Every structure is written in C-alpha cells, then in structure tokens.
A and B are shown apart, each in its own frame.
Chain A
Amino acid sequence: MKILIIEDEQGLCESIVGYFSEDGNICEYANSYSAAMAKVSLYNYDCILLDISLPDGNGLDILKYLKQQDNQAGILIISAKNSLDDKLTGLDIGADDYLVKPFHLSELKARVMAIIRRKSFNGSNIMVFNEITIDMMAKEVKVNNNSLKFTRKEYMLLMYFLANKGKVVSKNAIAEHLWGDGIDIADNFDFIYSHIKNVRKKLEEAGCKDYIKATYGMGYKLTDQ
C-alpha cells in the first residue's frame, strides 16, 4: 500500500516512515504545503496522513483540494491542534479520521489500517491471520472455524495487535487505545497484563498458537515468527 505523509516535523516524519515501511508499504513524505500539493496532484495514494499546520499553508486546504478532485485516498489528519472545531471542520470536509499529537505509532497504524479496510472493502470483510479469522462486520473472532466469545475490549485488543503485527506495542499505547487517554492512570498497568492474559487464554483454548509475546514489561508483540 502507498502512503503519503504530509508533516513538517522531520523527526516525526522519519519515525512514521520507518514504522510503516517495514511492512512492505511504500511511504512518501512531503514537508511543506507546496511539496504536498505537487505530490497529491501527480500521484495516487491509498492513505494520506495530513498535518494541519504547515509552514507555508494550511493542511485543511490540501484536504479541500483532494475532495474537489474526488481523490479516493483515505485521509487521516494528524495535528497538534487539539481543538474540537478543527476536528469537526476536518471531518466535515471529508477526512476519515483525526489523531491528535502526540500519539503512539501503533495507534496511528491501527487507525490507518482501519481506514484502508473501510475504503477497500466497503466495511464488510473478513480478515485472516493464520488460523484466526475475523469477521469485522459482525465483530466475530473464529479460530479453526470455532467462534470465540470476545468482549468488546478483547476484540479491540486483538485488532490492535493485528494492525501492528510484528511490532512491539507499548503498554501505554494499549492502555490509551482501550481505555482512552483521559483516564490518567499511569501508575498501574497490571490490569493490562490480566486483560492480555485472558485474550491469550481464550485463543489457546480454541487451539490457536500463542502469537502474543511479552517483551520484558515494555509491551507486547503479535508475531508468527
């Protein structure tokens, strides 16, 4: 898949490119409004990550241009402007999602994957990872055709891991994804541990291999290697 990152902060840009490229995705980036306009008018992308505040222009104008051109790319706004107005304006113009800086790369990846899935399969689709099959319409998880009883959070957690497969996902990122970033509980991540243990147990009991691995209290990684 082909992704364009429009972001003026070099450090952030490099991290995003690095994180997304490892999956065999093609990542391009633009550091300014003019460079971004040049790219979007020439090439087609599956997904565009768009920073609103650019040194030489407003990201929302790029968004407007894309919508005028009836560009089919999924668009995710990334912005430091944690303002509801901006968010609503962005979504009104036609952005698919909105992510506020600072964010975890795993969260960004999960959002991008969700947008791309929605775009390419019109929302009804089946995702397969080895013996795990997920019906994203019915939010149903099956292992070897046996349906598993997952809670909403367990389902979200599995989807999060699948979107970031092969990557170490930090506990902080998991906590924010599942419980919201407003919960302000940084002193204790034990509840994540028991939560993940439940998911692993359910998968194993259904005859699934244990793909989720802990990495020394830092985080977890879903991998089949």
Chain B
Amino acid sequence: MKLLARYNRINLVVTVIILFITGGVYYGAISYILNNQVDKEISIEEQEVISYLSKYGKLPPEVDYKDQKVSYYNTAYPQKRRFTDTTFYNKKEGEYEAGRALVTSANVNGVNHKIVIAESKVETEDLIRLIFYITIALILFLLLILFITNRFILNRIWQPFYHILQQLKTFRLTDQNEITGSVTKIDEFTELNDAVTAMASRVKNDYRDLKTFTENASHELLTPIAVINSKLDSLIQAGDYDEPQSKLLTDVYDAVSRLTRLNQSLLLLVKIENRLVTDEQDVDLKLLIEEKLVQFKELFNDKDIKITTALQDKQINVSKYLIDILLNNLLSNAIRHNHTGGVIDIVLTNHHLAIKNTGADTALVPADIYKRFNKAKNSEGTGLGLTLSKQICDNYKFSLEYGYTQSYHSFTISFVN
C-alpha cells in the first residue's frame, strides 16, 4: 500500500470519526441548552399559574395555544414536580410534534390538581435538524477537500521522492551518469536528495578506485608474466631435457598460459565495463561464425564432435574484437564441456543465436554461471569466460540465456530486447 493511500485512509477514518463525535456532542449540547430554554419558559408559565392561584384562589382557565397548552387534572396525591419529554398535538397543523412538559400540582381548596404545562419543541427540533444538516454538509465538504488535497497536492509534493526512487531503481554502478535530485522546497526531500546523491557518487568513486586497482594490478602483472614466458622460451632451448624435466617445464608453461589468459580477461572485463571498446562496425555474423568453425575445426575433430548449423544472414553493429571473444568463449565452452563424439548445434536467425551442445547430464545453476571464477570442477578455463560473455552481451543490450533440455546445454543470445 502506498504511503499516500495509507495516510489518506487513516486521515479519512479519523476525520469522519471526529466529525461524528463532535456532531454528537454538538447535538447533545444544543439539545440541552434548548431544553433548558423551553423549561425556563414553562417555569415562567408555572409561576404565572401559581401567582394567579394565590391571587384569585383558583386556577386560571386552561389554555391551548398553537405551541403551548396548560391543562389540569384531578389527582388524589400531590405530584412530584418534574420535566418530561412528551408529544404535543398541534391542532392547527393537525399533527403531533415533540414537546416538553412540566408536571406539577397545586392544592386548591383542599383538592389536589395535577397541572401539566406543555410546550411544542418543533422549533427547537428544526434548529437541531438544521445544525445536523450543516454538520453533514461540513463532513462531506471536508472529505472532498481532503480527497482533492491528497490526490493532487500531496502527489505533487511527493514528486521529488518518486523521482529519486526511480533513479535509485535504475542505478547501476557501471553507468557513467550520476544521480540527480529534482529541485524541491521540502527540507526532507532536499536532505534525501543530497544524501542519495552523495552516497551514489561515493559508491561510484569507491568502485572506480577498485576498478582502477584491478586494472593497474593486472597491468603490472603483465610484465613479470612476459619475463617468465620469455625465460621459459629461452630455457627450453638450453639443452636436452629428460622426460620428468620436460613434464615440469610443460606444467609451468600451462600455468603461465592460464595466468596470462586470466589476466587478459580481467583487463578486458574492466575495459568493457568502462565502455572503452568502441570500435563498433557492421559485422556479418553468419560469415564470422563460419570462420570460427574453420578456426576450431581441429578442436572439433579432436573430440569427434559433430557440428550442425542453420545459419541465416544477420548483420549486427558491434565491436569485431568483442564479438570475436564472445564467440570464442561460447564455442570453447561448447567444446570443453562436451564429451567425445558429442554434438554442437548452432542456430542463427534474425532474432537470436543459439549454441547447443551435448555434455554433462545435469543442468548448470543459472544463477551462478555468470559469476566470476565460477567453474566446473575439472575445467581448466579461467572461470571468466561466461562472465565476459555476459558482460559483452550486456554492453550491447543483448540477452544471454542458459537453458538445459534433453541433455543439451544451450546458450542463446537474443538480439532484440
């Protein structure tokens, strides 16, 4: 639930409850005051009756006005003086109205008389009804105002918040553009903007430092690796080695070769992330794949891998260098993780390129495959191949999906997103 909706709901419920309570209190207070008023009028009438009685020694004649009525009844006992609510018959209107009555008694010549002085409360009721209508109108008006305020004004006030939220959602460490807060007069949002902007640039700076470090470290490593490599090349010229010595040298060679590739992959990753590879050109993907298949022919033959292809013409605007690496990685994987006598199936359409290969009988974990240095137990690869591939695809907004069906592992690049 949105903060705004939640706030609105609480606000509305509370407002309505308070309005009803105040309406009730209002009603009670006004009724009380008006009843008192009527009671006072009745009391004055009573005084008149009593003073008449004491003056003339008899009760005044019964009266029956439009809104007031004095009547007497014989009674055996004196009545306790009390005010009661009653109904008042309005003869003129011919209807019963709410009324107020004072019941008291007087002893006239030893005979007890009950005196009932009643007065119509119709005007009072009208007044209360009017107050009630005004209150209801007020409630409706308030609700309307609240609704409008919430709907339009609050929405506008919260706009900077949604703006910054949108930016946070799309925030990527590797993006070049910074987070920008929108201008607002509200202190909280200004603070939020400042905090988020500062945080984003701090995080980016740290990340940049880290990347620079990776780049520099990889770069500095190149020279010693180059020296080791050249010394090894010189060493094997030096003489006749026996088999164990040759084995040792071969192992060192392989290790250095892996180190080299690892290092180059790291450098390349940083470079792609920094968008430093910008030699985009139109590449005929079909032609390139066919070239790759020729290049890898001996590797396929070595493992007796059967290649099936269904290639349509497809031009893409990418860096030849990167697409080359991408294809190298995917094809290398398809060979390395294949079994002898396996199959590699390559399909290129206008929308996607799918490379399927036979291999292990269990699917890979899709969440892990693009992580750096995540690799199969027996793999001699760098563990960066798929990370690089993913990075290259991301760079061109292609999607790279892994799938596993019927013992075929597949990697599919979709060109449209």
Contact = CB atoms under 8 A, between A and B. Distances in A.
Q: How large is the interface on A (under 10, 10 to 19, 20 to 34, 35 or more residues)?
A: 35 or more
A101 B237 contact: no
Contacts, number: 139
Interface in A72-127: 80, 82-84, 101-106
Interface stretch (B44-52, B162-170, B291-299): B291-299
Contact of B236 (A22, A102, A103, A218): A218
Given A11-B227, A184-B261, A218-B246, A170 B301 contact: no
B277 interface: yes
B223 A191 contact: no
B243 A216 contact: yes
A194 B298 contact: yes
A150 to B, nearest CB: 14
B298 A80 contact: no
A216 B241 contact: yes
Contacts of A187: 336, 379-380
Nearest to B246: A216
A24 interface: no
Contact of B246 (A153, A188, A194, A215): A215
A18 to B, nearest CB: 5
B62 interface: no
A15 B234 contact: yes
Given A82-B267, A191-B299, A217 B229 contact: no
Interface stretch (A28-36, A174-182, A204-212): A174-182
Given A19-B234, A183-B332, A186-B254, A102 B229 contact: yes
A6 interface: no
A215 B235 CA distance: 13
B361 interface: no
Contacts of B381: 184, 186
A70 interface: no
Given A9-B226, A82-B264, A218 B249 contact: yes
A182 B243 contact: no
